Structure 1
Amino acid sequence: MKPLALVVLLLVMSAPVARAAAEVVPLPADKQAFGTARSTASPVWFTLGHQGLSEIFHPDLSTPATRETRLLVDGKPGQAHTEPADTKSLTFRQRLRGDGWHGEITYVTDPQRAAVLAEVEVTAQRPVRLSIDHVPLNGGTGEVVSTLPTEPVRHAHGTFVVGFGEGVAKAALRKGFGAAAREYAQGWRTYLDGLERPKSADRRLYDMSVMVLAATEDKTHPGASIASPSFPWAFGTDRELAPELGPYALVWPRDLYHVSTAMIAAGDRGFAERSLDFMLREQQQPDGHLPQNTRVDGTPVWTKVQLDQVAAPLLLAWHLDRRDESTMDALRLSADYLLSYPNAPFSEQERWENQDGYSPATIASAVAGLVCFADLVRRNGENGDRYLAVADDWQRKVDGWTATRTGPYEPKPYYLRVTKDGNPDAPTKYNLGDNNPADIDQRAVVDPSFLELVRLGLKRADDPVVTNTVKVVDRQLKEQGYWHRFTQDGFGETADGGPWGINFPVPTRTYGRLWPLLSGERGEYELLAGDKATAAQRLRQIAAVANSGLMLPEQVWNGRGTTSATPLAWTHAQYVRLAWSLDAGRPVERPDVVVNRYGS
């Protein structure tokens, strides 16, 4: 299909506003909606901002093609309130208000082609003139066609289409919004009707979460699920930091693992099967490790080594009982990489991605991954003892590497976020990054991520170091009912709400806000601790921060999502997984083979 440059056909429409692509940066990352057809014949995804369509992705989910497409009334946009137009599809409606006028726009994509359709109705107190503001991004293309009046009117009803490819927009317009919308909705209804629902979840948010997770999978590259269709803060504006408007529109093995285990719980096993294939066929490097992230075609972008991500396919394969020869050969490469990595389980980066060292969370993933792989090996009639020997050694040593007895908090001992030297009692200092101006004693930095030791089966919920650390983390990191990632996290906004960025040589202090997905992890722990009522409260806490389009954010403050990545697939996955865990009475993703080995 030959791509077109931006063409606006003035069938009955006044001229659009066009801006030079060189001047364009993405819109704020707090998307109000995210949609695509269930059909793979429609490689186009839309997002909605606060004034209309924000980034449209085409031809894949790593490629934003447009910045925005807005309805203008007398040359000005309205302020939009977004809501689902259908509880069982990714169909969204925006109610707009402006000076003396109001309107509604409903959005879908054409399941048979790369086109976004918008049905528009406007009512005004005076005659007004309608136009479309369409802004391409990064050389993106888009053809816009419409049936809206050009002359001033008090009432208008029509459709506009953004299409990609020769004649696509015209074909979608001829098909009509109604036919496209019915086919679009039926695709999602058929998908949802094939899945069970947990009793514990809010049905509307649960269905939305499952659909959002399904929509994050690329259609040209099956199994490639991006972290978020958004570009928060400096990742949208700083081309030196993020030349390709990344990194959220990339595939991270860790996020992909969490989304896949949620989809297994939801009943979409095929999603997880494709994800594992993508990890092992597209992301895995010749030495067995998986890079920090990749484009949807598997091309590495950031290349740091995170051992928890290396372990991710080992864990996912165990959940899927994948023991075919090709899969096992690839898994063995990753398992051997864990064993041969210099000073393992020291990792070049832990799961928050800006520190090296010994991390309880990373060690938990590596140990669990090795135990799971050894179990797959055993079930294939082979001997996996060498993997178990290393796993057992690391499990025995994790406290010695990461639990301090000399730190500033009580009760002791408690787990640290990371140690630089494997000596948690040493006053070793390091810089937290993200605009923190001074170094900090490693013994003063804690992180809720240590709960991976319990969730993945290395430790009991009532282990004394675990319960000590729960108390320390709550005192240091809990605020407004949610948790920060770690002590003095700087990945977030300035004190006055300004965006995060890399501010050197004199940093402007930024503040990481509260992460709803951590409430989900805490709920999984509380289930294991026998407190189902509080675990259920955690599910409600996640639900409480959904925006009006039912999108769940990366970070929240004062009960609302910030301009962080929204929707964040990991947050939606955590909601889905905790809901099923509540129904089951235990974390559904906890590997029994690890639990049985360590008596946890």
Structure 2
Amino acid sequence: MRTGRRRRVGRGGRVVGLVAAALAGITAAAGAPPAVAAGEAPGAPGISAAWTTGAKNGVGTSTTTDSKVWHTLGQGVLNEVYYPQLDVPNVQDMQYVVSDGENFTELERDATEQRIELPDSRSLRYRQINTDADGRYRITKTYVTDPQRSVLMVRTRFEVLRGGPLQLYALYNPSLNGSGMGDTGATSQGSLVASDGEVSSALASSVGFDAATSGYSGTSSDGYQDLSADHRLDREYTEAADPGNLVQTARIPVEKDTTFTLTLGFGPDRSAAKAATTAALDRTYEAARAEYDSGWHDYLSSLRETPESVTSRGLTTQYNVAAMTLKSQEDKTRRGAFVASTSIPWGGAKNADECCTPGYHLVWSRDLYHTATAALALGDRAAADRALDYLLNVQWNEDGSFPQNTWLDGEPHWQSLQLDEVAYPIVLAHELGRTGDAEWAKLKKSADFIVENGPSTPQERWEEEGGYSPSTIAAEIAGLVTAADMARQHGDEQSAQRYLDTADEWQRKVDDWTFTTSGPHGDGAYYQRIDDDGNPNNGNELCLNNGGGCHDERAIIDAGFLDLVRLGVKPADAPAVRDSLAETDAQLRVRTPNGPGWYRYNHDGYGEKAGGDPYAGEGVGRLWPLLTGERGEYELAAGGSASKHLETMARMANEGHLIPEQVWDRESGNGFVFGEGTGSATPLAWSMSQFIQLARNMDAGENVETPDVVAERYAR
């Protein structure tokens, strides 16, 4: 390992500097007028802070637990960075600014044509290539996290394609410790440091900075505002001491073709963050990248052989990325805590002034069940075990219930109750064979809770309505039947019989509660999304809790009844199931250029507004790729083919191979492409899990996550 030296690479890769010289201080760049040294930055606290789009096309972290930093990419730049846990975002964005010092200053996010690629299809290492729309320069950035420490390393090549000389600035917008309005910052021995409470960051470069400043966003001390005024950095503020919306700007010495490493490190204080960045630079990007790639190679090699359904369709990279992305969504301190997504849906429209905007960096037991079953399908039994441990040791409540969702430490965030989320941990434990005394002591209470509180649920799987839901009832029945099997293993025949009697009754009555014969669609006979009182023919009013309006409950359809088949509660050819498919497709299916997609339900309001503006309490629900996968599982259960469903999910992934929560549902426009991701959440762990499950099921010829004891009782 090299120490004491750092490469400063100019044209042709020539070494032109030393580590000590690069970091010793700020020196004037050739051709750039020196900025006036100043003291404390004015303008605190600056303008309000926000997050960034939920549409990520790259995510990354090392496979080690020593590096507690995760990064996300979108719009050609770095977006949120999470540290020291996956529920603590610390960065709004970081990007480069290019100027000629006289006539133009522009953000690479806004001024370039962008693409992203995986240089190695077996490593979660992304490269962004941003080319100036006017053909003057190109910026190529490759991202890794140092496996040995909490440092993000951005290997950057800056090429002047026409004209010049040009100046390059790093523009860093921290939102430390989960909020954007409490940060302070300063220049410190060639680095830019910032802090908010127990989180600090340090920004450094392998070629040093020849100017650096800290200021407040949107004010005269904001380096980008300063540059935009006259294309020169006129003031260098050495400190932004008052808490506010901090922005830090640094000029990087570049020539016609320069390669360097930008490092962003984190720690509990500024000294620790600086020490981490210095150690990472001393180690070199090449060494970190080799270890980073090796970790991902080893992980993929530890999994089961890639399914034939994947390899025969040329989808191996998509499958590998799905597997790696799921692993990347696990916290490294709270093991087994897999978040729903490292994203904040429509984050650019969400105020970040105060901690803590929830986004999807929370844990839902339902999403965790899907991630764990996908891990089992991959052959990562250890991950599934950790997920169950987290469910039982962190999220489980003394009464047997599970919260709607939690922060990683188990503190509930949204305070409702969803009974399918109480049932799924029982199903998972049974699938894992985790039926010992310790597990059963808790899961028995969960089964009792379902008996005493079901089948009607305060909220179903879309988290908005209460009542009798086919999908929730399917999960409850599966939970009770698997709990009965556990009870018998423990010699508790009385509880086993109670659970089976309840499950049998609910299985007999689910159609009476949720299958209307007087609906306004098709022949009038189909499963409703949900019924308020178990009488599906009385036409009570259902007001959708996301701005979707009020409707006759018989008019609202979703495909949740397919869970009755997936969980073994009904056979695929059950009359009520078959009778519901035509109405479901007529109301919910859209044939996109990438293949068929389905809405969650008709009149859904959870999506961009009609004109494409971000969702803010009302909008137009879009298509969910995971529902294409669920329909594929139904086709398998019915003896058909799921090929087009798997291929559609892959085509709906973005160029970074990340499968979104929602895709655009109509002709391209308003900045969106028909059949491709929106600004909601990408990647969604549930979507990635569904792709993996469907691929494995296609090879098996059946849905392997269907609990055998349930299917044997009802479906076979």
Which residue in 2 is equivalent to 1:185? 293
Which residue in 1 is equivalent to 2:247? none
- In the alignment, does 2:519 pair up with 1:519? no
Which residue in 2 is equivalent to 1:570? 686
- What aligned pairs does 1:424-503 form with structure 2 within 5 A after superposition? 424-436=536-548, 438-480=549-591, 481-502=596-617
Counterpart-to-counterpart distance in 2, 1:57 and 1:267: 27
Counterpart-to-counterpart distance in 2, 1:9 and 1:444: 69
Secondary structure, counterpart of 2:613 in structure 1: coil
Alpha carbons of structure 1 residues 20 and 266: separation in structure 2 relative to 1, 3 Å: farther
Secondary structure, counterpart of 1:132 in structure 2: strand
Residues 19-69 of structure 1, C-alpha deviations (whole Å, 9 max, x = no match): 968622111110110000000000000001113111000010000011111
Secondary structure, counterpart of 1:209 in structure 2: helix
RMSD: 2.0
Secondary structure, counterpart of 1:67 in structure 2: strand
Counterpart-to-counterpart distance in 1, 2:287 and 2:298: 17
Q: 1:176 aligns with which of 264, 284, 292?
A: 284
Counterpart-to-counterpart distance in 1, 2:535 and 2:607: 30
Report if the CA contact (8 A) 2:345-2:359 is conserved.
no
Counterpart-to-counterpart distance in 2, 1:306 and 1:332: 18
**Which residue type is aligned with residue 68 of structure 1?**
D
Rg larger for: 2
Which residue in 1 is equivalent to 2:388? 276
Which residue in 1 is equivalent to 2:421? 309
Q: 1:106 aligns with which of 130, 142, 154?
A: 142
Which residue in 1 is equivalent to 2:168? 130
- In the alignment, does 2:338 pair up with 1:225? yes
Alpha carbons of structure 1 residues 332 and 247: separation in structure 2 relative to 1, 3 Å: farther
- In the alignment, does 2:151 pair up with 1:115? yes
Residues 180-207 of structure 1, C-alpha deviations (whole Å, 9 max, x = no match): 0000000111010011211112110000
Report if the CA contact (8 A) 2:420-2:473 is conserved.
yes
Counterpart-to-counterpart distance in 2, 1:586 and 1:198: 14
Deviates more, 1:382-391 or 1:304-313: 382-391
Report if the CA contact (8 A) 1:51-1:77 is conserved.
no
**Which residue type is aligned with residue 96 of structure 1?**
N
Counterpart-to-counterpart distance in 2, 1:331 and 1:427: 37
Shift of 1:151: 4.2
Report if the CA contact (8 A) 1:492-1:564 is conserved.
yes
Count of aligned residue pairs for this structure pair: 580
Counterpart-to-counterpart distance in 2, 1:458 and 1:13: 72
- What aligned pairs does 1:10-159 form with structure 2 within 5 A after superposition? 23-74=48-99, 75-78=105-108, 79=112, 80-98=114-132, 99=134, 100-124=136-160, 125=162, 126-137=164-175, 138=179, 139=196, 141-148=200-207, 150-151=252-253, 153-159=255-261
Counterpart-to-counterpart distance in 1, 2:70 and 2:414: 24
Residues 489-512 of structure 1, C-alpha deviations (whole Å, 9 max, x = no match): 00001111111012xxxxxx5100
Deviates more, 1:144-153 or 1:555-564: 144-153
Shift of 1:73: 1.9
Counterpart-to-counterpart distance in 2, 1:404 and 1:417: 10
Counterpart-to-counterpart distance in 1, 2:171 and 2:639: 55
Counterpart-to-counterpart distance in 2, 1:9 and 1:26: 33
Counterpart-to-counterpart distance in 1, 2:27 and 2:643: 54
Alpha carbons of structure 1 residues 360 and 235: separation in structure 2 relative to 1, 3 Å: farther
User: Which stretches of structure 1, 4 residues or more, deviate above 3 A after TM superposition?
Assistant: 8-15, 17-22, 148-152
**Which residue type is aligned with residue 76 of structure 1?**
E
Alpha carbons of structure 1 residues 570 and 388: separation in structure 2 relative to 1, 3 Å: same
Alpha carbons of structure 1 residues 154 and 465: separation in structure 2 relative to 1, 3 Å: same
- In the alignment, does 2:449 pair up with 1:333? no
Which residue in 2 is equivalent to 1:377? 487
Which residue in 2 is equivalent to 1:3? none
**Which residue type is aligned with residue 522 of structure 1?**
R
Deviates more, 1:213-222 or 1:136-145: 136-145
Alpha carbons of structure 1 residues 19 and 575: separation in structure 2 relative to 1, 3 Å: farther
Q: What are the ranges of 5 or more consecutive residues in structure 2 without an aligned counterpart?
A: 1-22, 30-34, 36-40, 100-104, 180-195, 209-251, 665-673
Shift of 1:152: 5.4
Deviates more, 1:43-52 or 1:140-149: 140-149
Which residue in 1 is equivalent to 2:235? none
Which residue in 1 is equivalent to 2:246? none
Counterpart-to-counterpart distance in 2, 1:354 and 1:10: 55
Shift of 1:130: 1.4
**Which residue type is aligned with residue 336 of structure 1?**
D
Secondary structure, counterpart of 1:426 in structure 2: coil
Report if the CA contact (8 A) 1:234-1:500 is conserved.
no
Report if the CA contact (8 A) 2:423-2:446 is conserved.
yes
- What aligned pairs does 1:387-402 form with structure 2 within 5 A after superposition? 387-402=499-514
Counterpart-to-counterpart distance in 1, 2:362 and 2:47: 23
Q: What are the ranges of 5 or more consecutive residues in structure 1 without an aligned counterpart?
A: 1-7, 503-508
**Structure 1 length normalisation: TM-score?**
0.93
Report if the CA contact (8 A) 1:239-1:245 is conserved.
yes
Alpha carbons of structure 1 residues 303 and 514: separation in structure 2 relative to 1, 3 Å: same
**Structure 2 length normalisation: TM-score?**
0.79
**Which residue type is aligned with residue 218 of structure 1?**
D
Secondary structure, counterpart of 2:80 in structure 1: strand
